[in-house]
Structure 1
């Protein structure tokens, strides 16, 4: 119902202002005009002097010249979006001296801009030049934009930035150069932009960062270099004001101990999809404000027990898809308020005793995609899963990879008495081993219907005696693991058919 009321209101407003509205446009107020017509080749000239916002979408306009705009227009906002614009003359905006926001985006035939294009736009605070085909920016072309606060040049074809391109933008706060082909940045590119808060270079071709590039950016809070080719980061190169740092999908192989040590305000750090195999034990020690740490999709083999020391406020640690085969039992000693822990898609075979004891009972854990070794050593993890299944994402996908007879089965569906270690059952085929003391254990067979068996050694002969509780065949399987490491593991199996004449009674 509300939507219908809105449409009706817009229709009434269109009726009110339609008398003075250009034919190709819609005028929903005296101050705002929207034009969208593919056949429109030039901007309408009968736009009222009361109009403050002119938005042109999907038009056939190909050129902008000084004659494209009436001299007495008082526009504060101009948008030309997804049109066929090819050329903008150097004086096209000379009459629009009151313009505060300008967007020329989505014009795939626009390859260049003249140096003087923005010379008269001294009141401009927001400039958007996204998703065009601009390949070159000339030095000095932004010199008149001393009041500019936001500049976006996303999705163009830029390969470099001229030195001191932003030298007169003393009020610049947000800069987005994402999805270009820029391969380097000069160390003095931001020397006059001390108010810059947000800077994004996502999706470029940067290979390294000059050590002094951020020296003057004392207000920088968000920095995004995702999807570049950065190999190395210099010691303590980032400004202390930083709160969000994204270095996802680069080519980082190692990090020095002090690279993040000044970042006590940092709350978000993304190092995912790099080539990190190990981390210094004190890499994150000064990140006292850190809330979200993403280390997923690297090649980390193991983590020092103190690597997360002092991260008392961290809420999310993502270690998904690494090569970790073991964890230190005290790794999460300081993470008592953590909300999410991702350990999925690693090479973990077990969880050390007490590992999860430091976490809050509401912490969500992801563990699937690991080759769990379901033997006697996994009982701590087994018990923890049973009592904390509501805290585990993809709980049903935690599969045993060993031993063979329960491979592929969900760990928590396995009878706890089946979690035995083959080394406790090993013996010499010739009976020359030390005497095996008598013990009682469970051997699974026939879809986990278990029967009580005992193992004993007498006069050099090892025997297994089983009380079969159902009229069924019996399969015995023994796994021999040599202790000297020179021989490979061997498996021996034997199967006996159900005795003739039995009728599901105890044998």
Structure 2
């Protein structure tokens, strides 16, 4: 009887274990299904969280429209460098937490008036580098918190259809709305900034026949005008304001760098010289990349105003030394890249070593002698140490302390000056001077 009960108990345990394994396998399969869905979703766009705010990065995905199924609780939507052509009504209405929307470098030529419905919390809208010709103030009404609107590098047609937008841009409190945007047509308004355009003229019936007398009407010759950063370069807002001017064949630092830029990339251009106060208005700049140019000289005041700059890349240029004072404004510099420059190890290089010695918190790389031949490949610091080596001490020359090379003591060099050499009578009298050789 006991044996029968034992067999029944064993059978029950086997059945229970089998069911448990099936249930666990089912749970694992469901879990794998859920994780695979997440992976497929992440493969299209990248979702991340920074400082408690959610970013959804769909840049360079060849998108022609906003897709369904994207998370609706995001705070920043990045759609730059896609192929979107039209923004239709309520395109973003389900992203009600959105604070910034980056649509730059698409092919947008039309925005319906209700495209931004629901974006009551949006503060930043980037529409630069598109194909917009007309737009109205009405499209901005759903965004009462809007503070930053970038519209430059669009072929704006400055006529009556643009009047309401121009008037909105010119409201004094909208200081960061529509900066740097220019008219492309008609001819009499070519090159005029929307910020400075007389809105009354846009709907004038005589507009086509009247040439507006304004100094901005005719473009200045290229030789007299610095390249415009807003039209040549790409601006990004998140995670920090950044201006990308790489590979633009620039020969000078571009004008009109936006004042809020934190990171500026001017690498791989043809800038040969930095002039005084090139960056004086970009007071928040923390990273400046000038690598891969043809830099030969930097003016003493080139970095004036960059009190917050933390990283400076000057690698792969033609720098031979720094003028005295070039780095004096860079109080918070932490990293200095100097490699691949033909540094000349002579007296002119001493300022750079002196400055680095008194700023031990600055990490620097690539400071190696290129000339003269006997110091080629030496770290510049080692060259300066040999230059400043102590003079040989007296005993190394076999001299008795207190004597000069001829063996004359300091006491023997004491001279009594004749009275006739001492001047007027009140000052006459014997004087003794001790001559001491300095080693």
**Structure 1 length normalisation: TM-score?**
0.41
Identify, as 1 or 2, the structure richer in helix.
2
Q: Could you say which structure has the greater relative contact order, defined with CA pairs below 8 angstroms and 6 or more residues apart?
A: 2
Larger radius of gyration: 2
